[in-house]
Structure 1
């Protein structure tokens, strides 16, 4: 059984120490709390627990939920990231295999005929052998292979976070295009209403001109308003079609008509309100920040591997088995055979390669520390910007709603005064244009309101597993 001991020896000696630097997460280069005061809302906000929530807890509109679920199943962007994750996992498993020796088993039988040396007589000889062997297995005494395996593992985890980031982007894009489609449908309906109103005003003005009540200037002004609204109808018709195309591309398949929004005004409570982010710790849950940290950990492990290159490497070649002159008696009366061939390699001169490799690994770590810190700073800005928008958007929405109501009253009175001959068409035309602009501004603000909700969800990291 000596050969079994020899084959087991590499398992006992592998991975004795690690030369990786002790990893310490860099201090967050941002304030501990999010900005407050001024533009930032002081209201309590929602109660959604981001750390233990999925997108289904945040998106509550049934149609939008179905569209997002379709995208997570059909998006080609996600299929690309899944392939990347599988590739990274395979590379990690390939590197991890170097921690264990390769054991081969071989059974052979040789039958030969040769001269005996007496006259020209020949004899037939037969030999059989069975062997198990491990070839050139490097003992990981200084943790080089362990470090390389950790490097690949962290790279694999970083790829997983990259896939999660892609999932979050897909959800954001789908919801955003869905909202844009709703807004452009409302813009199209507003343009159609304005065109119909302008056509009626043009008819009234033309009749007044025919009866000598209005001038040709009034007719031209009424016609310009009608033609402008007509052009907007054509433009928004195109926008609605293009919005649908963009949504289909983000989802990965054509979205059924019954899952599409009808207008921005009907989007009531499609998403939950986000809780105020009072601590910067929320940034650490973002997949891009986690990906940057895994990349940093990978470079930390590469330093350990570079350090290990300065130490000797020991390789083992061992085999053991039995041999016999007859195959039938190989495992009964065969003779035991074994071999054990250790070798050691000492780094004496490599033209400065090992020193340069270590310097490169340390420089890469500095690079990824800066990348990690920059990702946190960028995340802080994105959250702060979204919170600033959240703190003022409701006031803007209320103001634009009141502005539309006031503009409608102004238009109704100005149009009535014109039709009764009390006032000129200039005031009625101005009121009509003011109302049209006010309605467009309200739609734009409503669009911004809903986009801010999905933006907050994205910049705060999107919660737990996005596919739940």
Structure 2
């Protein structure tokens, strides 16, 4: 940067102070203005309501597990600690806007040989010439003052404070995102446990039926009514059902272990069996407009706060090209005797100002500005990518919601028909109209259809949870404002620069 290019902005900044931060503009949404038409059932999207998780998850047992998880989950505690650290770092940055006053005391004894002069050391003290005889003397002093307080004419400190403030806001939004993710994980784990218990019940019912059929076939084999092949085949169905039962026990044990990790402690001793799988557990969530995601989803808010922080960092990098003006001032008392330290005439003070400007830095500031701009470019891409991912999550959840209901209806009809076929095949077998193979096939078809129905019901419930999370469920704009207010309270009173959104 050429010296003559600094004259005009330097004069203005010296008079009123200025900032080198670029004017922030939110990037345009890199997504369509509306969700895909096939995911809206022809209905216009509206502003999604602020639905607290207590209203969405209506199962009392699930509500209790979520409350325990919010209080004990270790990952959420890490996010809370990171938020507290970011707030504290912001407070440290804000303190740099004000002069730091230190109180210092000194007591010493010194001997100077003849024909020497005491060198200046920057402290409050007399200069003595000893040109003939050596001398020994005491020095006592108490002083208060500030050293190297930067006058922020060019906004370097304010840009750093603005950056720290936005990073603190981003950390608060990260905490909210972790909180929503935890709620969703607990809910999905609970739903999986419910579904696996329903599948266990089906497997146990199937095992009981297969054991009953196997006993019939063994008796028929002993009586010579069926071949050994048919008797052995019926026993393999029993073994298959036993494997399914043990597999479901294993899955349920893993579900419980996973829930224990999520809630941060073993499941409560009073924890009862979950509500019936068919019972309504979740409240339906209407989809909002794509633009509402920008203000509702904490991960998008965090990404934009980091983009604002990167924008502020450019101001800090630009200010590095301009002079650094600092003040130093001290006031205290000085005496050669401790008893005279606070007497009249012992007052001492000094004041000064220093200015430094880059002259030859071998490109350090230029490269620093280039790096800051690159970080801003990366933060912009990260923000746009977060918006795109949020849009995709909502669109995917809407697509599943719109198409899974017909699939569930068809699957329920398949279960009903398979139940009828199995019932008829049992009657035909008992009356000798069909062999046992037809009954086994009908039973296997019914079991598979019932398993698929539970799986689809689980998919529907999990998709409702995912849609709730994707729309920023449980996150309200008031929460963000409350977090910002909490960060602002960490700053010294009277400091207002660098925090606007």
Q: Name the TM-score class by shorter chain.
A: 0.7 to 0.9
After TM superposition, the score normalised by the length of structure 1 is: 0.88
1:161 equivalenced with 2:173 (yes/no)? yes
Tell me if structure 2 keeps the 8 A contact 1:186–1:263.
Answer: no
1:293 to 295, 304, 314: 304
1:152 equivalenced with 2:164 (yes/no)? yes
Q: Distance in 2 between matches of 1:143 and 1:123?
A: 51
Q: 1:136 to 1:46 in 2, by over 3 A?
A: closer
After TM superposition, the score normalised by the length of structure 2 is: 0.82
Q: Distance in 1 between matches of 2:273 and 2:303?
A: 37
Q: Which residue of 2 aligns with 1:28?
A: 29
Tell me if structure 2 keeps the 8 A contact 1:183–1:264.
Answer: no
Q: Which residue of 1 aligns with 2:465?
A: 454
Q: Distance in 2 between matches of 1:55 and 1:132?
A: 55
SS in 1 for 2:27: coil
Which 10-residue stretch deviates more, 145-154 or 214-223?
214-223
Tell me if structure 1 keeps the 8 A contact 2:199–2:454.
Answer: yes
CA shift, 1:141, in A, is 1.1
Q: Which residue of 2 aligns with 1:363?
A: 374
Q: 1:128 to 1:15 in 2, by over 3 A?
A: farther
Q: Which residue of 1 aligns with 2:49?
A: 49
Q: Distance in 1 between matches of 2:317 and 2:311?
A: 10
2:445 to 408, 429, 434: 434
CA shift, 1:258, in A, is 4.2
SS in 2 for 1:311: coil
Q: Which residue of 2 aligns with 1:135?
A: 147
SS in 2 for 1:244: helix
2:435 to 424, 428, 438: 424
SS in 2 for 1:337: strand
1:63 to 41, 45, 61: 61
Q: Which residue of 1 aligns with 2:91?
A: 93
1:208 equivalenced with 2:220 (yes/no)? yes
Tell me if structure 2 keeps the 8 A contact 1:296–1:365.
Answer: yes
SS in 1 for 2:89: helix
Q: Which residue of 1 aligns with 2:332?
A: 321
Tell me if structure 2 keeps the 8 A contact 1:178–1:261.
Answer: no
5 Å matches for 1:158-237?
Answer: 158-237=170-249
SS in 2 for 1:133: strand
Tell me if structure 2 keeps the 8 A contact 1:74–1:253.
Answer: yes
Tell me if structure 2 keeps the 8 A contact 1:88–1:156.
Answer: yes
Q: Distance in 1 between matches of 2:43 and 2:282?
A: 17
What does the per-residue CA deviation read over 1:384-422, in whole Å, with 9 as the maximum and x for residues that have no partner? 000111112222222222221111111011011101111
Superposed CA RMSD: 3.0
Q: Which residue of 2 aligns with 1:9?
A: none
CA shift, 1:129, in A, is 4.6
What does the per-residue CA deviation read over 1:10-31, in whole Å, with 9 as the maximum and x for residues that have no partner? xxx9992110001111011111
Q: Distance in 1 between matches of 2:411 and 2:387?
A: 35
Gaps of 5+ in 1: 1-12, 116-121
Q: Distance in 2 between matches of 1:153 and 1:313?
A: 23
1:311 equivalenced with 2:322 (yes/no)? yes
Q: Distance in 1 between matches of 2:330 and 2:160?
A: 27
SS in 2 for 1:333: coil
Tell me if structure 2 keeps the 8 A contact 1:144–1:308.
Answer: yes
SS in 2 for 1:99: coil
Q: 1:47 to 1:324 in 2, by over 3 A?
A: closer
Which 10-residue stretch deviates more, 370-379 or 423-432?
423-432
CA shift, 1:203, in A, is 1.4
Tell me if structure 2 keeps the 8 A contact 1:300–1:365.
Answer: yes
> How many residues are aligned here?
448
Q: Distance in 1 between matches of 2:436 and 2:141?
A: 110
Q: Which residue of 1 aligns with 2:422?
A: 411
